[in-house]
Homo-oligomer: A and B are copies of this chain.
Amino acid sequence: MSTVGKAISLLEHFTLKEPEIGLSDIARKSGLDKATARRLLVALAERRLIEQEPLSRRYRLGAGLSRLARMRDAHLPFVRVAAPFVRELALETGETVHLSEFSAGALLTVHVELSAKANRVSVDVGQILPLHGTASGIAFLAFSRPETVEACFGKPLTAFTPHTMTSRDKVMEAVRLAAERGYSRSAQGYEEGVHSVAAPILGSDGFPLGTLAVASPVSRIDDAIADSQGQAACEAGRKISAHLTGEQWHASVPLRQR
């Protein structure tokens, strides 16, 4: 791994549950030597991506990250534009809805609206979703360039539950079905007990930027409910796409046009 990769991997050890980490600890977690870890942390701290608590001498994520994230959000207002529609869809369906953005070969969860119900699916912002094992991933692939789809099969497909589709044929069949009806459907492919439907959010080039997914406990779902969730997700996805690209939104927008 490159030195830069190692440095960034250090950042990725800071989580919601463990927002501050000591030197020896992070060296152990990352598998790096203590001296190496420290040099990297110091380099990161010089650029404000890491801060050190002066008293405990523990490290945490730095203010520079907030600064850079603000730059990005100002320019690429994906979450800002989509958030109201995500909320609307969550209210309409009564289920947890999450928004994902494609990045580096996977989908990154960037926004979540939790269901108001007691028995609900919980999703964390920041969670990384594989393309082959989630409704979001299938919806994304269904509208992606052939190269993107192909790249997904470059590595063996990990099974997350006994229900995960791990053969290329099964995945492609799901993709074909999703392309046909506009949304994908997946039950327990990534987490036990979770049913999801997902629709793509298309950019100005007609290819997906990310996805929108409705996640419910499997016990609450039948075909009719799934289909109505799917329709609603599609419509919300189209609205978001339209707002992002500045184009007029047509109720009967064709699914694929090239």
What is the interface of chain A, defined by CB distance below 8 A to chain B? 2-5, 7-9, 11-12, 14-16, 19-20, 39-40, 43-49, 51, 54-55, 60-76, 79, 101, 103-104, 108, 110, 125-126, 205
CB pair A68 B11 closer than 8 Å: yes
CB pair B71 A126 closer than 8 Å: yes
Residues on the B chain within 8 Å of A205, using CB: 54-55
CB pair A103 B3 closer than 8 Å: no
Per CB-CB distance, the 6 closest pairs between chain A and chain B, nearest first, are A69-B69, A19-B75, A61-B72, A4-B43, A8-B47, A63-B103
Residues on the B chain within 8 Å of A104, using CB: 45-48, 62
Q: Known pairs A2-B43, A4-B7, A8-B44. 16 more at Cβ < 8 A?
A: A5-B43, A9-B47, A12-B68, A14-B68, A14-B71, A14-B72, A16-B71, A48-B104, A55-B205, A60-B72, A60-B75, A65-B65, A65-B68, A67-B126, A68-B69, A70-B126
Known contacts A66-B110, A108-B63; decide if A4 and B48 are in contact (CB<8 Å).
no
Nearest Cβ in chain B — how far from A141, in angstroms? Answer: 16
Q: How far is the CA of A58 from the CA of B39 in the complex (A)?
A: 31
- B39, B43, B60, B103: the one contacting A48 at CB < 8 Å is B103
Residues on the B chain within 8 Å of A49, using CB: 8
- B60, B67, B101: the one contacting A108 at CB < 8 Å is B67
Nearest Cβ in chain B — how far from A137, in angstroms? Answer: 16
Nearest Cβ in chain B — how far from A169, in angstroms? Answer: 27
Nearest Cβ in chain B — how far from A34, in angstroms? Answer: 17
